[in-house]
Structure 1
């Protein structure tokens, strides 16, 4: 079972069964108890007719039943299709059309009208469950694909990435090499369980090290701080938007976070100002680069590494930064990030059959822009399609956002291009401010001149915004990722 997703949980249950594996609200599971719950769920899925190779759609809610279902479905050789708990009916219809699931596992409020058997959480995990346990198999009987993880679909039709047992196991091995975690660590997870960082990232690494995972039912800064304090959490996963909210929280400097040694940051380019706030607080930040197609992280920085670097590739992963012709660019020059290695998915899952993820030589063309430094460390600077071309000059939104992140009174910042008849596009900044900003004494709202004054000496003038929009909130997806395609709608508000 060494190359089977979930094998690490079984091994830990055998060798360290009495250790605490999972905490959720007022309940805990030892490794032995978690393993037993998985085996009982396998037996119950079998009773409901799920077989190896079948697809099972699951509401990826942040609850222990979802984690147990994840391990149970993949262990029996079926394929889990985890979705964000707030998925819309239209999105669910696309997923079911592409995957033809035999069952949908979900709670109340999840869209109906789907094909296949509908199972509630209580059907698989009844209160006081003491049902029979399925025997342990040497290997899953069914599909080599363990999980079909659908991309967020911020533009176009969502795509299902077919992640094999081998992909997820190699991703976990990369995390073991790149994350500074150990058996005494307690990791906090406060993201939906459909996130690829849960499937191949920090919780799997923590369980491999026989540490403890604390699962939050949702992300809320107050709850996050409470859980760190109450469970003496030592590490956590947070997308940059979550980290920014925590850094501005009134309790950020209190003793409630004293046990937190480091956070794993991923999902979008990190903001220098937020990272420096964490470092000043004594909390390291491990920047990571990864995508759904790479089964989570393929690079990890050291906790005290430079503010923008995401670190060097993990073992067995190759990275290159290429120009439009596919040739590697010099050190320090931005280009498209290409990834090759055993954690990279081989195909997208579609109703018509598999569609290759990589080119003929095994490279996945990420669509992200990045650059290497002299020490082989990767810095992500944005998306190819998000590059602003103004007056013939290229501007990476993430670079401008990073420079504005410490602007007084700014809570969140986003930058995009807006059509312009003269310049082609103009750099446009969207700011969310707090109530105490005094950039403009009359209105309490920063002006374009204030923003440009802040950037003077930091960025070349062609990168300065020509338009400023102060907005109440930025459009974000279910996992906290900025939805740039929706920024244009704020221009008319």
Structure 2
């Protein structure tokens, strides 16, 4: 892969740069250091030939400072603001990182990045201007730590709504069921709720736990809490009282906001109870905060979905959320004419720091769905002329299988943003065939929202692509040996930037999210293609090892989702005394249900035999967490291992399965 990389050692450049076939929106690769390298004595520049890049040649007797020897290295670091790599040599950056760059320390060569084919909106020689009405100019240098970048003044979370109320107060900001709110009306409701919170004793820095129901009062409360300098703690509406007790224990809130019926079921704990009706009372006089929040103030404590244990609360500052907005608006095609449908709970990070915030920053309109339902989704698109939507891939999969999917009612929908779990190839292809463009994304609670976006043409040739990194995020793929992964090589995803939270909030203090150099080790596994697009393939701990062979569950799932009759699919590993783990497929299917022979015939020629499921379980539903993510640890509860499962010793990794199970729906 052609690239110009910096490291502590001499800078090596590829012999030839082959530009991508489409030059629109890109600049050709140029040498970053014409003439001599400033501050790097001992380098000469060889003049390039036609169509060639210059090569730097270190002198034979180059002086260096005392200390341990420095290793020449290359690393597949991608600065998001540098776009995707051009096509070129396939030497694939196979240089390992030095010991000091292993997990927990600074990855080799990570601080400098490289210059690649550049989008016109992001040149390394010129700061990237924030898109739309933000009007702020960003610094030239990428942040070297998670919170090392200070946002411009007046960019606290929700500041754009205040400006919109003054400058475009009559534009429609929010639609819910049969009611609309203009920006002026929404701002008035926020100021009234702010006054009511202050009357009930909420002060700057206090935590306010809010049940993240999809209702306008929750949106108003979100902005009121953060505007007054308090800290919002949104929780998923499906959380039980016991689960909510964990959140209250960790955050010791001043108030808990929810509907009255739910509040009556809560056990004793910290925080005064406030109902939606009390907060939205029309007789409450509007109030303003004494002073706007500082960028370093925590705005939201967003709890992870807890798929791997006790949930953790990522402390997102106003600066984190600002840079997340800048990143997203630089990549997503949101305009003031867009009507955006949101069909996820308000506890989802994609709502807290994602597409709805970008829409309001552009003075667009957000349509809020009380829940996800195929008929309701299509009705809202038809009734409000929805042009864009956010949903998790599981929702989009159900939508594409809906009987009304091809009806004219969906004709106004131009594009959808998919996030929350890896993209499904069949779902993406079906949307594209319908004429709905797809934006795949990858993001985490700790990163405030998306850190990569695959926009339109970046999805067309690779439906599972999550796209290149956003402008102000550095992203590494590191293999299990601590080395930079090759192109198309799988490794753990590391990232850092000013949108990444620095710490988790606990009752005893804070725990770091990142390592000493600001790198967040996500626990997700991914790969880069030659165009610098990320593809997420699963979690590090989800890897199945069967007969000594590694199997990615997501790869098998993507191959099985096309099987006729399959509605949903999940793949996990079942313990086995001989093979270690057995690849097991869990299917939600229509009649007639597929058999194990159907699965094997479908996968023949698509996947290596050691990746074929050896067990097949047909289930009524897949276990999902509060945010819609698949709960893989719960898969083994759906069907216990069977004693009569057999394997073919002549097949690598135990690929033959003779077992099909049907499970009853759990109570």
Same structural fold, with TM-score higher than 0.5 when normalized by the shorter chain: yes
In structure 2, the CA distance between the partners of 1:170 and 1:424, relative to structure 1 (3 Å rule), is same
**Range that drifts further, 113-122 or 461-470:** 113-122
Do 1:76 and 1:141's aligned partners in 2 also have CA atoms closer than 8 Å?
A: no
What is the deviation of 1:327?
2.6
Match of 2:624 in 1: 476
What is the deviation of 1:3?
2.5
How far does the alpha carbon of each residue in 1:154-174 deviate from its partner, in whole angstroms, 9 at most, with x for none? 232111110111111111111
For 1:56 and 1:131, the matched residues in 2 are separated by 19
Alignment of 1:271-350 (within 5 A): 271-304=424-457, 305=459, 306-350=462-506
Aligned residue for 1:118, secondary structure, equals: strand
Do 2:495 and 2:521's aligned partners in 1 also have CA atoms closer than 8 Å?
A: yes
Aligned residue for 2:639, secondary structure, equals: helix
For 1:355 and 1:415, the matched residues in 2 are separated by 33
Query: Where in structure 1 do 4 or more consecutive aligned residues deviate above 4 Å?
Result: none
Alignment of 1:321-470 (within 5 A): 321-435=477-591, 444-470=592-618
What is the deviation of 1:141?
7.0
What is the deviation of 1:85?
1.1
For 1:391 and 1:350, the matched residues in 2 are separated by 41
For 2:520 and 2:482, the matched residues in 1 are separated by 12
Aligned residue for 1:246, secondary structure, equals: helix
Aligned residue for 2:154, secondary structure, equals: coil
Alignment of 1:134-283 (within 5 A): 134-135=287-288, 139-140=292-293, 144-283=297-436
Match of 2:177 in 1: 25
Match of 2:8 in 1: none
How far does the alpha carbon of each residue in 1:30-77 deviate from its partner, in whole angstroms, 9 at most, with x for none? 011111111111111111110000000001000000000000000100
How far does the alpha carbon of each residue in 1:175-231 deviate from its partner, in whole angstroms, 9 at most, with x for none? 101211111000001111000000010100000111100001111111000000000
For 2:290 and 2:514, the matched residues in 1 are separated by 32
Are residue 3 (structure 1) and residue 159 (structure 2) matched? Answer: no
Alignment of 1:7-86 (within 5 A): 7-86=159-238
Alignment of 1:95-110 (within 5 A): 95-107=247-259, 108-110=261-263
Match of 2:84 in 1: none
What is the deviation of 1:142?
11
For 2:378 and 2:237, the matched residues in 1 are separated by 23
How far does the alpha carbon of each residue in 1:254-309 deviate from its partner, in whole angstroms, 9 at most, with x for none? 00100001110011111100100000000011000000000010010112322011
For 2:291 and 2:324, the matched residues in 1 are separated by 21
What is the deviation of 1:445?
2.2
In structure 2, the CA distance between the partners of 1:141 and 1:380, relative to structure 1 (3 Å rule), is closer
Do 2:156 and 2:294's aligned partners in 1 also have CA atoms closer than 8 Å?
A: no
For 1:483 and 1:69, the matched residues in 2 are separated by 30
In structure 2, the CA distance between the partners of 1:11 and 1:326, relative to structure 1 (3 Å rule), is farther
What is the deviation of 1:135?
2.8
Aligned residue for 1:336, secondary structure, equals: strand
What is the deviation of 1:90?
1.6
Aligned residue for 2:233, secondary structure, equals: strand
Are residue 120 (structure 1) and residue 275 (structure 2) matched? Answer: yes
Do 2:477 and 2:491's aligned partners in 1 also have CA atoms closer than 8 Å?
A: yes
Do 1:289 and 1:310's aligned partners in 2 also have CA atoms closer than 8 Å?
A: yes
What is the deviation of 1:15?
1.5
Match of 2:636 in 1: 488
Do 1:52 and 1:143's aligned partners in 2 also have CA atoms closer than 8 Å?
A: no
* TM-score normalised over the length of structure 1: 0.96
Do 1:9 and 1:35's aligned partners in 2 also have CA atoms closer than 8 Å?
A: yes
More helix by share: 1
Aligned residue for 2:403, secondary structure, equals: coil
Do 1:337 and 1:370's aligned partners in 2 also have CA atoms closer than 8 Å?
A: yes
How far does the alpha carbon of each residue in 1:379-409 deviate from its partner, in whole angstroms, 9 at most, with x for none? 0000000000011111110000001111001
For 2:194 and 2:170, the matched residues in 1 are separated by 22
What is the deviation of 1:138?
5.0
Give the number of aligned pairs: 483
Structure 2 residues not aligned, in runs of 5+: 1-152, 641-662
Superposition CA RMSD, Å: 1.3
Structure 1 residues not aligned, in runs of 5+: 436-443
For 1:367 and 1:488, the matched residues in 2 are separated by 21
Do 1:78 and 1:142's aligned partners in 2 also have CA atoms closer than 8 Å?
A: no
